[in-house]
A and B are shown apart, each in its own frame.
Chain A
Amino acid sequence: MLVDFEVVERARAGDPGAFNEVVTAYRRRIFGTISRLIGRPEDVEDVAQEAFLRLYFSLDQLRSPDVFEPWLYRLTVNAALDYLRKRKRRRLESRVSDLSEIQVTMADAAAGTHIQFEEHQKSRIRETVDSLLSGVSEEDRMLLTLKEVEGLTLKELEKVYHVNENALKVRLFRARQRVLKAFAASKSVQGEEKKNA
C-alpha cells in the first residue's frame, strides 16, 4: 500500500488532510490506469476525480486494509466504464469524429512540424491497440487492459471483480482470442498492402 492504513482510517473518520494524503499518494497510479483504460488523456482528470469522489463517499464501507487497493481499482474501473458508456452514447447521438482534441493537435503537429520519431511510434502503438481493443466489449477491454497492460494478477482481479478465478480465466481467454483474431486480420491486411505497394 502506498499509504498506511491508519491514514485511510483517519480519512474515513472525516479528516480532510488524511483524504488529501490518500489522493496524493494514489493520484499518479490512478491517472495512469485511467489513461490506459479510456485512451483519452484530456478526460483522465475528470474520470480520476469521479473515482476519488466515489472513494470519499464509500470509505465507510471499507472493512480491512488489504482490500483497499483492489477496491480503489474497482472504483476506478467503474468510473472509467461509466465514462466510456457516456461517451459511446454521446458519439451515437452526435456522430462526431472519433479523434480527440489531443489526437487532432498531434495530427496537426505531425503534418506541420517534425514530430519526434519516438512520439510518432508511441502514437502508432496507441492507435493500433485502441483499434484492436475496440473489437471487444468495454467490460472485456477493461479486463484485458488490467491483466495484460496493468499487469494485475488473477488473484488481484478476483478481488476487483468479485468473480472466481475460473470465470475470469474464461472471460480473459475469449477476449484475448477475439483481439488476437483482429490482430491477425490487421497483419494480413498490412501484408497485402505491402505486396501491392
Chain B
Amino acid sequence: MRDSMNESLERQSVENESELDRLLTAYREACPIPDASVNFMPHLWERIDGSQNWTRQVWKWANGMVAAAAAASLFFVMLQLLPRHTPDFYGATYLETLADQHDDDEVLENVALLNVKPPQELPAK
C-alpha cells in the first residue's frame, strides 16, 4: 500500500517536472519581443550625452573645489611664513610695561623714595 503511494507520488513529481519544463519552453515563445521604436537610437545617444555632460559638470565642479582648496592652503601657508610683528605690549612683563608707561625718572624716584626706610638698628643686648 505504502509502496504504491510512494510510486504514485514519484510518478506525479516526475510528471510535474516535465510539465514545468514544457511550460517554461512555451513561455519563451509566448513572450512577445517588442520592436524598437524609431527613436530608440536617438534617445539612447541623448541619454549618453546627458550622462557625459553631467559627468563633465561634476568634474568641473570637483576641479573648482580642488583649486579653491589649494589656493586657500597656499594663502594660509604664506600667512604662516610672513614675519610676525607682535606688539611689545603682549610680549612684555607687567613691570616692563609699567616702566614703559611711566618712562620718567621722577616717578621712579618717588617710588624709590616712598619705599626706602632706613633699617632700624636693633638695640644692643
Contacts and interface: CB of A to CB of B under 8 A. Distances in A.
Given A23-B44, A49-B44, A148-B21, A32 B31 contact: yes
A interface majority secondary structure: helix
Contacts of A27: 36, 40
B33 A183 contact: no
A179 B48 CA distance: 39
Contacts of A183: 16, 19-20, 23
B29 to A, nearest CB: 7
A1 to B, nearest CB: 20
B24 interface: yes
B21 A126 contact: no
Interface residues of B, number: 29
A125 B20 CA distance: 11
Contact of A57 (B19, B28, B40, B51): B51
Interface residues of A, number: 38
Dominant secondary structure at the B interface: helix
A36 B20 contact: no
B43 interface: yes
A70 to B, nearest CB: 19
Interface stretch (A37-45, A83-91, A153-161, A162-170): A37-45
Contacts of B44: 23, 49, 52-53
Contact of B34 (A44, A53, A126, A132): A44
Contacts of B16: 180, 183-184, 187
A84 to B, nearest CB: 15
A174 interface: no
B46 to A, nearest CB: 10
Interface of B: 12-13, 16-17, 19-21, 23-34, 36-37, 40-41, 43-45, 47-48, 51
Interface of A: 16, 20, 23, 27-28, 31-32, 35-36, 39, 41-42, 44-45, 48-49, 52-53, 56-57, 121-123, 125-126, 128-129, 132, 148-151, 176, 179-180, 183-184, 187
Given A32-B31, A149-B28, 7 more contacts: A31-B33, A35-B32, A44-B34, A45-B37, A129-B23, A149-B27, A184-B16
